[in-house]
Amino acid sequence: MHLLINAEVRQMAESVALLRARDIYTYGLEVSSACNHRVRVNGVERINFISNNYLGFSSHPRVVEAAGMALQRYGVGTGGSPLMCGTTTLHTRLKEKIAEAYQQEAAVLFASGYQAMLGAIQGTLGRGDLALIDQLVHRSIVDGVILSGCDKRMWLHNDMEDLGALLARTGGKYKRRLIAVDSVYSMDGDIADLPAIKALADRHEALILVDEAHSLGVIGPRGRGLLEHFALPEGAHIIAGTFSKFAGAVGGFVTGPADFITHLTHTASAFIFSASLPPVQCAAVLAAFQLLDEEPQWHRQLWENVRYLLDSLASLGFDTGRSQTPVIPLMIRDPEKAMLFNKSILERGVYASPVVHPAVAPAESRIRLGVMASHTREDLDIALGIFQKSGKELGLI
């Protein structure tokens, strides 16, 4: 047992125990209701700012109904990997829908967004190649790069001068170079500068991969993500993402040229050696796509809520960093105060998430808020009042 419980393990266990003893540990609390604008947390209803269910689709009646019908027809899973018995009619329809949404030739589905990113990068890069990744990309991109065995260089966040210098220095030294970015950055809420990235990639003959996790359903006139937002339908070579934000479901995808997708389905370990995405999830996501097209009021309402909350937080004196989207950080810049603030707003009725070291540097500690289309104006005003009270008590505003 002593080989398992080393100094690093013990240190983490002791840190968590200390936070629990001080009653300021708020991770992994028990939720006993659907993920909507209000949720029951530890038996008490609170306003939900902790989820990524931006459009509120996970509990929309049409999504739930579609999922229920699929559950009755297909059961809880397929009993196999996608290349075995894990491809149903729903999987095929969803792949076609993803490719259509992004104006690509084909798509492949993964059991999670994390696996999709591993598969996309492993299927693109190998030894002798180079990944150029924004320093704030999601961990799944970093892990995909490590799995691929390629070289890695990080560039300063959204800094085109730094990316350009890296591309210039590495020219001619690698078989293939891939620039990887998040469309919307999951902790800061800002957007990748795709036009500038594409200009540099074209000049230096590099590939572009965009992670659409926090942008599908969110940015772009019709919620089709980063490429639609910038009107650049050919702005990326590889597009990957997850359904956990857009539909509040589970699963991931990669879309691009048909030959590349065929290559992924026969080489990506995360695809071949994993059970298939359950059909019930495919049905839910297909219903969410229908809602995005047929009930555009959810997309409009989301952005009304985002603008209202960002403006109101600024007027109260809160620092929301670079946020332009439903991902809104309340910058606390002190780990202990972040934990204390989050405990305070939880007790007053807001469920949110503190983000502290090692997820971010101590001076970047924050509360991460996720805005939902289903938040009412009353929800937002109550939450703002709570933020103001707790912020003043801790000397944050």
Residue for token pair 């009646």: 61
Banded pLDDT at 5 (limits 50, 70, 90):
confident
pLDDT greater than 90 at residue 358: no
Please give the model's pTM, rounded to 2 decimal places.
0.95
pLDDT greater than 80 at residue 8: yes
pLDDT of residue 1: 60
Q: Can you tell me the mean pLDDT for 39-53?
A: 97
Number of neighbours of residue 319 by Cβ within 10 angstroms: 15
Residue 367: strand, helix, or coil: strand
pLDDT of residue 19: 87
pLDDT greater than 70 at residue 207: yes
Q: Can you tell me the mean pLDDT for 346-367?
A: 95
Lowest mean pLDDT of 1-15, 90-104, 248-262, 357-371, name the range. 1-15
Residue burial 160-196, b: 16+ Cβ < 10 Å; e: rest: eebbbebbeebeeebeebbbbbbbbbbbbbbbbbbee
Q: Can you tell me the mean pLDDT for 287-303?
A: 97
Q: Can you tell me the mean pLDDT for 307-331?
A: 98
Number of neighbours of residue 44 by Cβ within 10 angstroms: 13
Domains of the chain: 7-30+296-393 (3.90.1150.10), 61-294 (3.40.640.10)
What letter would DSSP give residue 172? T
pLDDT greater than 80 at residue 80: yes
pLDDT of residue 286: 98
Per the CB < 8 A criterion, the answer to whether 110 and 98 are in contact is no
Banded pLDDT at 7 (limits 50, 70, 90):
confident
Strands 366-370 and 151-155: unpaired
Give 263: exposed, middle or buried? Use CB within 10 Å, 0-12, 13-18, 19+. Answer: middle
